[in-house]
Amino acid sequence: MDTNLIISKYYPPGSLSFHVLKTHSQAVARKAVKLAGRMNFSDQEMEFIHEASMLHDIGIFYTSATDIGCMGDLPYICHGYKGHDLLLTEGLPLHALVCERHTGTGLTLTDIDKFNGLLPRRPMEPISESEQLIAYCDKFFSKDLKNLEVERSFESALRGITKYGEDKANIFKEWHQKFNL
């Protein structure tokens, strides 16, 4: 599967949002494939990890994030489930799950309820190892235009997650034990 074809369908090549999405996703994909290579994933799973890393943020254009060229009208938190719904229409249900399960360390129903109906009420926590690995690697890269490819330290990524609660920080620490071999 050519992820470029899917990305180019929704992001005009040469646009700011295309640049941000591609650069960020490539950085996440590089890290995810590197860490996955030290584990026991099959060739098929390795391919999935690369593809899903490239597509995990495909929903950002539905949101309002003008600094990165996204001119939609939804709050940024919606990019996960919107990407999920988009990839379902592309016939990619497993890649779709990575989209809606990669926000932070995942969204529980309790998290979702705090958004008062903004998000569909279904559990959005990463379950499979590849879903968790991609969510983990994503936390090391920001969408700050000047630092798209700069990998944050584990401590910096952990500080970012801790803002959302100790429970989230603990999940991130568990992933670090599991994936950062």
Instruction: Give the range of 67-75, 78-86, 112-120, 134-142 binding Fe ion by CB under 5 A.
Output: 134-142
Residue whose pair of structure tokens reads 């500080």 in the numeric block: 159
Q: Are the CB atoms for 107 and 171 separated by under 8 Å? A: no
Please tell me whether residue 63 adopts helix, strand or coil conformation: strand
31 vs 119, beta carbon nearer Fe ion: 31
Question: In terms of DSSP bridges, do strands 64-65 and 70-71 run parallel, antiparallel, or are they unpaired?
Answer: antiparallel
163: tokens are 């803002």
Angle between helix 129-138 and helix 43-55 axes, rounded to 10 deg: 40
57 near Fe ion (CB under 5 A): yes
Mark residue 16 as left, alpha or beta (left: phi above 0; alpha: psi -120 to 50; beta: remaining). alpha
CB of 138 to Fe ion, least distance (A): 4
- Least distance in angstroms from the C-beta of 90 to Fe ion: 18
Backbone φ and ψ of 107, nearest 5°? -110, 125
Q: Which is nearer to Fe ion, 125 or 138 (CB)?
A: 138
Residue nearest to Fe ion (CB): 138
CB distance 28 to 137 below 8 Å: yes
- Closest to Fe ion by CB, 32 or 119: 32
Nearer to Fe ion, 57 or 111 (CB): 57
Q: How far is the CB of 102 from Fe ion (least distance, A)?
A: 7
Stretch that binds Fe ion, among 52-60, 70-78, 113-121, 126-134 (CB under 5 A): 52-60
Q: Using CB under 5 A, which of the segments 110-118, 133-141, 153-161, 169-177 binds Fe ion?
A: 133-141
Amino acid, single-letter form, for residue 98: V
| Residue 138 touching Fe ion (CB under 5 A) | yes
Q: Closer CB to Fe ion, residue 117 or residue 134?
A: 134
Residues that bind Fe ion (CB under 5 A): 57, 138
